[in-house]
Chains A and B, each alone.
Chain A
Amino acid sequence: MEHIAEGFVFPNELHITWTVMIVLYPYITGMVAGAFIVSSFYHVFGMEKLKSIAKFALVSSLAFLLFATVPLLNHLGSPMRAMNIMLTPNFSSAMSGFGFVYTFYLLIVVLEVWFCYREEIIDKYNSSRGIMKKLYYILTMGVTVKSDKAKEFDKKLIIFLAGFGIPVACILHGYVGFLFGSIKANLWWSTPLMFIIFIFSAIVSGLSVLIFLYQFVHWLRKKPVDQECLNLMGKWLWGFMIIAVVLELMEVLSIAYENTERWTILRELIDGKLLVSYVYLQIGVFSVIPFLLLCVTSLFKFDTRIKNFMIWLSSGMLLIQVLLMRWNVVIGGQLVSKSMRGFTEYFPGLFDKEGLIVSVLIIAIPFILLRQFDKIFPFFEKHGLLKKN
């Protein structure tokens, strides 16, 4: 691929090191954290309106979590060495810190999913035969009898795990933000606000993916949605997207007002290389339009079908907005030369090892996994979503 440099660029800055894979890594991790926090709203804070989506949110979190490291493994190129950080942990490495947080968080999510689905697994055990029965037996841990008291214990543990999981989810994604924000040599990344921006954008992406899939699945199956749940999710999406976008813009405003030497080149970055992806698309189209749509759906009462479509459209647009945000942060930060006087160029190839087709595949796999999980343990039917509004 041809690299076109503008201005003063050091020769070793011509090639972007952190590619589109490193864009996907915080994107998928963000959806993990966001979806988990949504599920915890029901389990910990008792928001009954979110009951319809709570399990789906939890399992979505697990599905994305299982594939959050795939872009990293593809990028680094030696997946067989992945477990070495456990074998020979280096606690002074900021990068390996993510591995430890990730593993701990995975344990919490797996436990919570197991407790949530324990009764369904027992039911499946009782109704299946052959190898599947043995498989379900292993999954029940040998306890194949249901009881009300056991259910109560499960509920308490779920609340504990969900409550404990919220700070861990924030740390998980905050840590991703910290990895970028702590690189003081990078003008576009270096800010202590980065991990807060990442957490809020994670919640936005988590809420968006849940709303998008929830409505899409119900539209596909021609089933009515839980309107109260959807309205609440829409309002929350509106609120969190406002915080996420405002925080990001305030950060830029702060740099602009300080007007230190870095602003000269960052202004050129925003006004040049990122004009389309950041100004026009991320802010202009995929932030402003969802904001206006969600304003209308949150503040006014009108036809439910139109309202639901507007929420669904907003969630889809916000999913793209967060992806664009990750792109503009990860790639944008590397386009600027450390000399503060030049830029390089990057766009992923189609068939590259870290190209667009591989990216689409990595994004698609968690959704395929969710579909398979849904076939065994349906997310929605058993939770009263079939009733008409």
Chain B
Amino acid sequence: MFKDKSHIVRIFSIIVVLGVIGFIARQIALPENFGLHGHYRWEANNQNRALPIINQNSNTCKSCHEGIYQLHGKDAHYNVPCVDCHGAGNLHVTYHKDSLGTITKEQAVMPREFKLEGCLFCHRKLKARPSDFPQIDQDEHYKFLNVTNKGTKCIECHSPHEPVFLLTEVKQSRIHPIVYKCTECHNKKPEKSFKEVADHPAIFECKDCHSSVVKSFEVRPHHKYIDCRTCHLYHKENETTGRIYKNGNVKFCLLCHEKKSFKDEKYPPKIDWPSHIGNLNIIEKSDEKICLKCHADQIHDMNQNTKEDPHPKNWTREHKSFTKDNSQLCQKCHTTNQCSSCHLKTKPVSHVPSWSKLHPESAAQNKSSCEFCHKQNSCANCHKVEIPHPKGFEETHKDVVSQKGKDVCAKCHKEDFCKQCH
């Protein structure tokens, strides 16, 4: 009887033995610190920590590529780390720092993500992306610029390290408020609803604060094709503020207006660069906004006199008391270090030891700059006479000398000054 079942006993015995062996093997193979702080091996943390770093920090790149690092940090891609486009970089760094020669030159070559998909991964137009994030529908973008070759890569126009050629460094760009709540403009919450106020916009647009500039823009050719934010790029930083990049860089204009083999010549108007202006030396040291010197009238009114200042005329004097209670409101537009540009805690560099002799010339040119620190009557406090002298002083100075003495004059004028006339 058992003989006929022996194979059954054997097969199940093998299964049981395999099970026991498996259990013993598990006990032996189970890492000592498994399950110490959860369903994982605790030691794995230390092992992972000890692994060589593959992805290089941007600071590592900076140590050799300082120029590109600075350029990259200036423009819109400042927060995109090098590894995103160039790969991990461990072989590249090892090749240049390791004298053993374990890495070949071919291995050390860094990849460059120049394919269309590389850029579109972040910049493809998606409704789910925040609207202020730069994003394009490739077909629409190419149609707008009359790009005839659909395979044209983004880098043909945009430099990855300086994609929009910002004039001002991103981090230094002006903070621009988003009118989000009543108290963004009003000190206290108004009693009336904005609906009850005539001509009060529901949503603030550029024209609501910059009406004359927008009006002048609306009658110029660019108005048909672009809007304010095409040039005045805006990046929302939080719910109430963002930064605005006022862009008039020649390279920015060339994004649309430079002749390229892959663009149709008809529209928008295109030029040969740099032959259009002669040679690049003209702009290297002088002005990056050279296009605007001749073509500003094609965009909008850019006369400084029409610049709209949101503050009242006597603001320089009045802002002190306002700032005490509303410092946060100031910071909607101004960075905190902008205060220090006027309110220096130390003497300005111009105030050298011989400043008492040098200052009349500077004061004559720009007296208002003195008044950032000095009170309006501080000149008179020192000079004991109105400075600069009012009209008709030649006639009345005799009385001043007789009352206050010649020493008052001697503070500025030499001894023989009187003899020039008398």
A and B co-occur in one complex? yes
Binding site for B on A (CB under 8 A): 2, 5, 7-11, 86-88, 90, 107, 111, 114, 118, 140-143, 147, 149-150, 153-154, 157, 337, 339, 341-342
Name the distance in Å between B226's Cβ and chain A's nearest Cβ. Answer: 26
List the A side residues contacting B203 at CB < 8 Å.
Answer: none
The reply to whether the CB of B127 lies closer than 8 angstroms to some CB of chain A is: yes
The 4 closest A-B pairs by CB, nearest first: A143-B7, A149-B4, A8-B127, A150-B4
Q: By the criterion CB–CB under 8 Å, are B7 and A140 in contact?
A: yes
Are A88 and B30 in contact, CB atoms less than 8 angstroms apart? yes
Assuming the contacts A141-B10, A141-B14, A150-B7, asked whether A9 and B128 have C-beta atoms less than 8 A apart, the reply is yes
How distant is the Cα of A11 from the Cα of B128 in the complex, in angstroms? 7
Contact of B22 among A86, A114, A140, A337 (CB under 8 A): A86
B128 and A8 form a contact (CB under 8 A): yes
Query: Which residues of B from 1 to 32 have beta carbons under 8 Å from A?
Result: 1, 3-8, 10-11, 14-15, 22, 26, 29-30
- From residue A86, how far is it (CB to closest CB) to chain B in Å? 7
Interface residues as binary, B116-132 with A (CB distance below 8 Å gives 1, 0 otherwise): 01000000101111000
Q: Shortest beta-carbon distance, B308 to chain A, in Å?
A: 38
User: Contact: A143 with B6, CB < 8 Å?
Assistant: yes
In whole angstroms, what is the CA distance A308 to B67 when docked?
Answer: 77
Interface residue count on the B side (C-beta < 8 Å): 24
CA distance A150 to B126 in the complex (A): 70
B32 → chain A closest CB, angstroms: 13
Cross-chain contact A118 with B7 (CB below 8 angstroms) = yes
State in angstroms the CA–CA spacing of A8 and B129 once bound together.
Answer: 9
Interface hits, B126-165 → A, CB 8 Å: 126-129
Q: Which residues of B contact A (CB under 8 A)?
A: 1, 3-8, 10-11, 14-15, 22, 26, 29-30, 34-35, 39, 117, 124, 126-129
Q: Inside 8 A of B117's CB, which chain A residues have their CB?
A: 2
Give the complex CA separation of A249 and B119 in angstroms. Answer: 42
Contact flag A342-B8 (CB < 8 Å), given A88-B34, A88-B39: no
Determine the chain B residues whose CB is within 8 A of the CB of A8 once the complex forms.
Answer: 126-128
Q: Which residue of A lies closest to B18 (CB)?
A: A107
**Which partner residue on chain B sits nearest A5 by CB separation?**
B126
Looking at the complex, which one of B10, B15, B22 makes contact with A143 (CB distance below 8 Å)? B10
- Enumerate 16 A-B pairs (CB-CB under 8 Å) in ascending A order: A87-B30, A88-B30, A141-B10, A141-B11, A141-B14, A142-B10, A143-B7, A143-B10, A147-B3, A149-B1, A149-B4, A150-B4, A154-B8, A157-B8, A339-B128, A341-B127
Given contact pairs A87-B29, A88-B30, A107-B15, A141 touches B7 in the complex (Cβ within 8 A): yes
Residues of A contacting B128 with CB < 8 Å? 8-11, 337, 339, 342
Contacts of B7 in A (CB 8 A): 118, 140-141, 143, 150
Which chain B residues lie closer than 8 Å to A86 at the CB level? 22, 26
> Known contacts being A2-B117, A142-B10, is A7 close to B127, with CB within 8 Å?
yes
Q: Which residues of B contact A149 (CB under 8 A)?
A: 1, 4
Alpha-carbon separation in the docked complex, A10 to B10 (Å)? 58
